[in-house]
């Protein structure tokens, strides 16, 4: 079951109230809920097939795009918070000061937090026992 399907029980009371207002017939409401679950499961299966095809590919540029984003983010953090400040400091200490290198903007933190959020979702899957 995918992330959206996992949200349905959490948002259940809100969804139930909304469906009761829009679909007063209990049988039609139940059918709508079953259709929603079927569509969510269908999209999960489609995404799993895409993931399998990407993972099976021989090229690292196809199979390794997720790790590549992690490497880029890690290198950007290394540059922003270690390499750039340390190079300015070391150059000053040895008597050949250099201007501060360009810095990365706050977009880096958004990328990092997004990636860490995806890691948390994986941990959530493992906690619920749905990880394969």
Based on the fold, state whether residues 75 and 129 are members of the same structural domain: yes
> What percent of the chain clears pLDDT 70, i.e. is strictly above it?
66
- Number of domains the chain is built from: 2
With beta carbons less than 8 A apart as the criterion, state whether 75 and 64 touch: no
What residues contact 68, with CB distance under 8 A and at least 6 apart? 60, 61
- pLDDT of 86 reads 93
Residue 96 burial (C-beta neighbours within 10 Å; 0-12, 13-18, 19+): exposed
> What is the extent of the structural domain holding 97?
59-132
Based on the fold, state whether residues 110 and 90 are members of the same structural domain: yes
Based on the fold, state whether residues 30 and 63 are members of the same structural domain: no
Model confidence over 21-67: pLDDT tens digits? 888 888 888 888 788 777 777 766 776 777 777 677 676 655 666 67
Cβ-count burial 54-64 (b if 16+ within 10 Å, e if not): eeeeeeeeeee
Model confidence over 56-83: pLDDT tens digits? 767 665 566 667 777 788 888 898 889 9
CA–CA dist 71, 111 (Å, integer)? 12
Based on the fold, state whether residues 17 and 47 are members of the same structural domain: yes
2/48: higher pLDDT: 48
Last residue of a domain, one of 33, 56, 79: 56
Q: What average pLDDT does range 89-107 have in this prediction?
A: 86
Half-sphere exposure of 79 (CA within 13 A, CB side): 13
Based on the fold, state whether residues 23 and 71 are members of the same structural domain: no
CA–CA dist 8, 93 (Å, integer)? 59
Which of the 8 DSSP states describes residue 80? Answer: I
């Amino acid at each position: 079951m995918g992330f959206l399907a996992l949200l349905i029980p959490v948002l259940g009371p809100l969804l139930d109230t909304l469906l009761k207002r829009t679909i007063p017939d209990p049988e039609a409401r139940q059918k709508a809920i079953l259709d929603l679950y079927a569509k969510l499961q269908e999209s999960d299966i489609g995404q799993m097939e895409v993931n399998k095809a990407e993972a099976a590919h021989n090229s690292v540029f196809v199979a390794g795009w997720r790790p590549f984003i992690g490497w880029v983010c890690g290198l950007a953090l290394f540059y922003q918070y270690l390499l750039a400040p340390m190079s300015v400091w070391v150059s000053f200490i040895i008597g050949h000061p250099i201007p501060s290198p360009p810095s990365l903007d706050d977009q880096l933190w958004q990328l990092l937090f997004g990636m860490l959020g995806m890691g948390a979702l994986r941990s959530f899957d493992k906690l619920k026992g749905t990880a394969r």
